[in-house]
């Protein structure tokens, strides 16, 4: 059953048929997919969902696909993890992690948006797909594009993290590095979509692509027993994910699948690239572009075109926004790893660190349920931790050497520098500091 009505401009409400376009010809505003909610309310419900396969496509009525063929049937339905130890550290009663660091197939939430975009590209008869990306999207487009038989061309800023480059080229996708920042790459892709007619997932397929983000919200609601959380914290690059999670909860409420008060949305950015946080805090909701300067590359969008909507969604929900320094972000990565065994990338570190600040300042009430959305995997951004490389003993393969090492390091908690533990001076400790991205140990023997 198909409930898609068409496309509509978010600004002037001009209507368009379903087609590969993202921009209103009248006012340049972004186009959004519209659905027949009346029919959806009559004909669908949680009951029809539960028996389906565990992937984001269990909510297909609320996704903008019209054909029978779905590309990426295995994507999504990532764990919602109760985070007791992190809750204790942050001083809240009920905390959950939505863990898209283990999304299929490329370990970030971008697998969701790409699955929808490629399904539409196939419907539209496109044979070449591509994207402008800060890394995660590149990986997702490369893996899924190649797998589903598209010619795939991905554009990234030339100085991206090595893991994200390898995680794109390994699939055989064409990769083009661009001398410039993400905003410049995105601009070029906009011109490429114009000239070549390719399916650029975040440009001319954007209205469909963006809808894939809603599935994070659908899953959180279902995994919470068809309830929405009181508070939700999510990192923001363009701000689209947070906006779409809010939309997902609103749709479920509109359809009568969930009840209760609106979720307060909290947005997180790095201080070196915080135009949406600024727009929330100064009360204008207007985005003033910045030149991005942060190690959180996946959040480094200085001129977020959807930023205005994210600021508005945050404000209307009664939430707030916060930014964190690169050092706080690294602490956030470690904190999540040490408490919950989840290794997130820089963007997730931003989310955790911002949540910590928002809780400490009282913006997030301590006695309510809060969900942190973790969007990507730490193995892609190990460089970010190079400056605080772990210190650990390297020994000869003999039991006595091991006993000596354990005696020396036994009371040292992981991640705590040796100066605060009880380390004997005669034990040599190893540090990976000199060789980022290399194996962490290059030390000498005891």
Q: Given the rule CB under 8 A, which residues bind other proteins? A: 11, 22-23, 25-30, 110, 113, 131-134, 137, 180, 182-184, 186-187, 189-191, 194, 201-203, 206, 209-210, 237-240, 288-289, 291, 301, 303-306, 308
In whole angstroms, give the CA distance from residue 401 to residue 446: 7
Q: How far is the CB of 311 from other proteins (least distance, A)?
A: 12
Q: Are 117 and 212 in contact (CB under 8 A)?
A: yes
For other proteins, the closer CB: 154 or 337: 154
Kindly tell me which of 314 and 359 has the beta carbon lying closer to other proteins: 314
Pick the closer one to other proteins by CB: 110 or 214: 110
**DSSP secondary structure code for residue 82 in this structure:** E
Cβ neighbour number for residue 32 with a 10 Å cutoff = 18
Minimum Å gap between C-beta 272 and other proteins is 16
Q: Which CB, 98 or 110, lies closer to other proteins?
A: 110
Q: Shortest approach of other proteins to residue 186 CB, angstroms?
A: 6
Residue nearer to other proteins on the CB measure, 220 or 237: 237
Give the nearest distance from C-beta 29 to other proteins in angstroms: 5
Give 54 or 291: the residue with its C-beta nearer to other proteins. 291
The span from the CA of 240 to the CA of 409, in Å, is: 45
Q: Which element (helix H / strand E) includes 371?
A: strand 369-374
To other proteins, the closest distance from the beta carbon of 9 in angstroms equals 10
Cα–Cα dist 288/272, whole Å? 14
Minimum CB separation from other proteins for residue 140, in Å?
9
Cβ-based neighbours of 80, under 8 Å, separated by 6 or more? 96, 97, 98, 99, 219, 220, 223, 224, 371
CB 8 within 8 A of CB 16: yes
Per-residue CA distances from 119 to 134, 201, 205, 236, 360 (Å): 22, 11, 10, 25, 43
């Amino acid at each position: 059953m198909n409930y898609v009505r068409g496309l509509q401009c978010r600004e002037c409400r001009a209507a368009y048929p379903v087609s590969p376009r993202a921009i209103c010809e009248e006012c340049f505003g972004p186009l959004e997919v519209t659905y027949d909610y009346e029919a959806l309310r009559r004909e669908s419900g949680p009951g029809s969902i539960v028996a389906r396969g565990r992937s984001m496509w269990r909510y297909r009525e609320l996704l903008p696909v019209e054909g029978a063929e779905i590309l990426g049937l295995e994507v999504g339905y990532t764990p919602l993890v109760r985070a007791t130890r992190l809750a204790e550290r942050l001083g809240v009663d009920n905390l959950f992690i939505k863990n898209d660091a283990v999304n299929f197939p490329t370990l970030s939430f971008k697998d969701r948006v790409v699955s929808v975009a490629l399904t539409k590209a196939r419907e539209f008869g496109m044979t070449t797909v591509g994207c402008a990306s800060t890394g995660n999207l590149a990986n997702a487009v490369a893996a899924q594009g190649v797998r589903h038989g598209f010619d795939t061309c991905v554009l990234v800023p030339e100085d991206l993290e090595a893991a994200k480059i390898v995680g794109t080229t390994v699939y055989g996708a064409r990769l083009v590095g661009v001398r410039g920042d993400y905003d410049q790459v995105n601009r070029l892709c906009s011109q490429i979509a114009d000239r070549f007619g390719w399916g650029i997932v975040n440009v001319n397929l954007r209205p469909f692509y963006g809808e894939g983000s809603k599935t994070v919200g659908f899953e959180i609601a279902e995994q919470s027993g068809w309830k929405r959380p009181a508070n939700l914290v999510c990192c923001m690059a363009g701000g689209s994910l947070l906006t779409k999670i809010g939309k997902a909860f609103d749709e479920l409420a509109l359809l009568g699948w969930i009840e209760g008060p609106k979720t307060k949305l909290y947005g997180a950015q790095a201080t070196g690239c915080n135009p949406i946080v600024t727009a929330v805090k100064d009360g204008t909701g207007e985005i003033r572009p910045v030149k991005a300067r942060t190690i959180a590359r996946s959040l480094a969008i200085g001129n977020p075109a959807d930023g205005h909507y994210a600021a508005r969604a945050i404000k209307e929900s009664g939430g707030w926004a916060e930014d964190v320094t690169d050092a706080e972000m690294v602490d956030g990565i470690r904190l999540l790893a040490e408490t919950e065994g989840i290794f997130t990338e820089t963007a997730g570190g931003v989310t955790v660190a911002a949540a910590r600040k928002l809780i400490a300042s009282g913006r997030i009430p301590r006695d309510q349920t809060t969900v942190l959305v973790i969007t990507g995997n730490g193995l892609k951004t190990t460089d970010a931790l190079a400056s605080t490389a772990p210190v650990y003993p390297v020994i000869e393969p003999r039991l006595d050497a091991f006993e000596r090492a354990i005696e020396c390091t036994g009371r040292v908690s992981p991640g705590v520098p040796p100066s605060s533990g009880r380390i004997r001076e005669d034990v040599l400790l190893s540090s990976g500091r000199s060789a980022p991205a290399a194996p962490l140990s290059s030390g000498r023997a005891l």
